[in-house]
Chains A and B, each alone.
Chain A
C-alpha cells in the first residue's frame, strides 16, 4: 500500500514536513546557540572571556564533552576543542583550586559542566518537555544525520572550539525516488 505512494518531487522541504521528526535546524539557529555559549563563558569562565565567532581548524587531538537531550527532539549538545584548550578551560574554572597536574577526571568534570550548562539552555530553547542526561566526556559522538545539526565554530583565547547540537537518531531514510542520496557523507 505504501509502495505506490511516490512523492512527485523530493525537495528536502517536503521531506521535512512529511517526516514526523523535526530537524534541529528548524528549532534553533546558530545565533541562539552562540548567545547561550557566550553567556556560559562570561559567567563560568570569566567576565572578560569572550568567544569570538571566527571558525578555526580544530587540532588533531581533540576532546569532546556532551549532554544528551531526550524529548520531542532527541540528540546531543557537543562541545569539542583541543585537549590542551580543554585543560586551559578546566584551570579557568577551578582557578586557585586547580591542582598542579590536572588528571582526566578534573578535565572531564569541568569541561562536562560547561557542556551541561550550554546543553541545559539549548534544551530550554527547544520544544519540551525534555530530559537532560549527565555530562559525558570523550571522543565526539558521531553525526548521525548531517542535516540534523546546528553547529557554531568560535575561538576562545585564540583556540578553536565547536558547539554542535546534533540529532542522535540515524539518518532519515533516503526517499527511494532520489537517485543520488547525499545524506551518507563521511
Chain B
C-alpha cells in the first residue's frame, strides 16, 4: 500500500513517514497541497494521504476539497494529521471529505489505531 505524506515540516514528514513505513507502507512526501496534487497528477496514486492543515501555497483543507472534486481520486483515503484541534475545525475537515483526523501530537500507535479503524493496515490487506 502507498501513502503520500503532506506536511510543510520536514521533521514531521519524517515522523509520519517512518510510522507508516513501519506499518508496511511505501511513502512519498509533499511539502504542501499543490505539490501533492502534482504527485497525484503525474500518476503516482496512493491509497492514503496524510494531510497537515496549515501549509504554504495550498493548505490541507483546500487539498481535501480538490481531491474530492475529482472523481478519479475517489478511492483515496484522506486522513488529516494536524495540530488544528478545535472541534469546529475537525467538523469542517470531515464535512469537506476527510475520512479521519489525527491530532498532533500523536504516537505511532495512534496512527496504527486509526488506520485499523479504516481497514487500512497493510498486513490486513486482502488481495
Give the B interface residue count (CB, 8 A). Answer: 24
With beta carbons under 8 angstroms apart, the residue of A40, A93, A120, A123 that contacts B11 is A93
The 0/1 profile, CB within 8 Å of B marked 1, for residues 103-125 of chain A is 00010011011001111110110
With beta carbons under 8 angstroms apart, the residue of B14, B15, B86 that contacts A129 is B86
With beta carbons under 8 angstroms apart, the residue of B9, B12, B56, B88 that contacts A128 is B88
Main secondary structure of the interface of A (DSSP, over half): helix
Main secondary structure of the interface of B (DSSP, over half): loop
Is there an interface contact between A112 and B82, defined as CB atoms closer than 8 Å?
A: no
Residues of chain B within 8 A (CB-CB) of A95 are 14, 18
Is there an interface contact between B86 and A93, defined as CB atoms closer than 8 Å?
A: no
Once A and B bind, how many residue pairs between them come within 8 Å at the CB atom?
74
Residues of chain A within 8 A (CB-CB) of B106 are 43
Q: Please tell me the size bucket of the interface on A.
A: 20 to 34
Residues of chain A within 8 A (CB-CB) of B56 are 134
B107 within 8 A of A: yes
Is there an interface contact between A43 and B107, defined as CB atoms closer than 8 Å?
A: yes
Residues of chain B within 8 A (CB-CB) of A47 are 107
Bound: A45/B66 CA distance, A: 33
B77 within 8 A of A: no
Closest chain B CB from A114 CB (angstroms): 8
Given A43-B107, A113-B11, A128-B88: 18 more A-B contacts, CB < 8 Å: A40-B104, A93-B14, A95-B14, A95-B18, A112-B9, A120-B82, A120-B85, A120-B104, A121-B103, A121-B105, A123-B84, A124-B85, A124-B86, A124-B87, A128-B86, A132-B83, A134-B54, A134-B55
